[in-house]
Amino acid sequence: MMEQTIEKLVTMKLFGMVNAYEEQKKQPDMKGLSFEERFSLIVDQESLFKDNKRLSRLLKMAEFRIKDACLENINYKAGRSLEKKEVMELSRCQWIKDNLNVLITGPASAGKSHLACALGNKACREGFSVKYYRVPFLFEFLTQSRIDGSHLKVLDRISHFDLLILDDFGLSPLSPDERKDFLEIVEDRYDCRSTIITSQYPVEHWHELIGDPSVADAILERIVHNSYKFRFKEGANSIRKEKADLKLIKGKES
């Protein structure tokens, strides 16, 4: 009878319950529990299995640049102008439910991408769909989509992620097509989805990076006023340099 029951559970893709049942068979002390207690443990295991599977799928779909970034490992030491209280406020992910944005600016290697990916990782753990793009790659991708006829489909897909991370914005001024695509992305997401944008340039310089004054006004109106802003100071220690120095120290110790 149990073999048939296991087969039914597998058919229904209740693999967590199957694993929990097999584990209970290996533990003699389980016999001291009531049916209700053992069944509750089996259901809990199924719930945990599905949660882990969903998280794995969300993380894979997000394609973070820094896959191990997490809020628990954020560096708040002096000189980075990063307040733990502000980051912890975002860790609750209420800002995503409220369709707000996060703008992170500062010098190269100051930790902008790490913070963005850490916020994205936390969003995945809270069940939100996330997608990460480096802006230069995204614009190349959209250019290719114009050629193969999938442009509108790609823009539509981007619009449906709960959180979109646009890393390295403003490495070069936008072309007319890039301005148009950028406006379409922020327009589709305005007041209904959240976006994180990182850039080496302060927000007040984004107008000239975008180029066309009217398009720049439209874009900034949709992303600046409803956002949290983090600005790393000039001279902030390089995260990449700190990691390289740490490896060097460990190498000498060994």
Domain ranges for the chain: 2-61, 63-235
Q: What is the distance between the alpha carbons of residues 254 and 246, in angstroms, rounded to a whole number?
A: 12
Is-above-0.85 flag for pTM? Answer: no
pLDDT of residue 80: 66
Those residues whose C-beta lies under 8 Å from the C-beta of residue 45, and which sit 6 or more positions away, are 16, 17, 19, 20, 23
Helix (H, G, I), strand (E, B) or coil at 79: coil
Q: What is the distance between the alpha carbons of residues 59 and 124, in angstroms, rounded to a whole number?
A: 6
Q: Number of helices (H) and strands (E) in the chain: give both, helices first.
A: 12, 5
pLDDT of residue 79: 58
Q: What is the distance between the alpha carbons of residues 65 and 119, in angstroms, rounded to a whole number?
A: 13
Those residues whose C-beta lies under 8 Å from the C-beta of residue 205, and which sit 6 or more positions away, are 170
Q: What is the DSSP letter of 69?
A: -
* pLDDT tens, N- to C-terminus, the chain (254 residues): 678 887 887 888 888 888 887 888 788 777 777 878 878 888 888 888 888 889 999 999 999 999 999 998 888 775 567 888 889 999 999 999 999 999 999 988 888 999 999 999 999 999 999 999 999 999 999 999 999 999 999 999 999 999 999 999 999 999 999 999 999 999 999 999 999 999 999 999 999 999 889 999 999 999 999 999 999 876 555 454 444 443 444 444 54
Residue with tokens 């190498």: 251
pLDDT of residue 248: 43
pLDDT of residue 235: 52
pLDDT of residue 252: 46
Residue 79 contacts residue 232 (beta carbons within 8 Å): no
Q: What is the DSSP letter of 247?
A: H
pLDDT of residue 234: 63
Tokens of 43: 């259901």
Residue 169 contacts residue 69 (beta carbons within 8 Å): no
Share of the chain residues as helix, strand and coil, in percent rounded to the nearest 5: 60, 10, 30
Looking at the domain covering 63-235, what would its CATH class be?
A: alpha beta
pLDDT of residue 39: 82
Following CA atoms 142, 145, 149, 153 in sequence, which dihedral angle do they give, to the nearest 10 degrees? -60
Q: How far is CA 19 from CA 12, 203, 213, in A?
A: 14, 51, 60
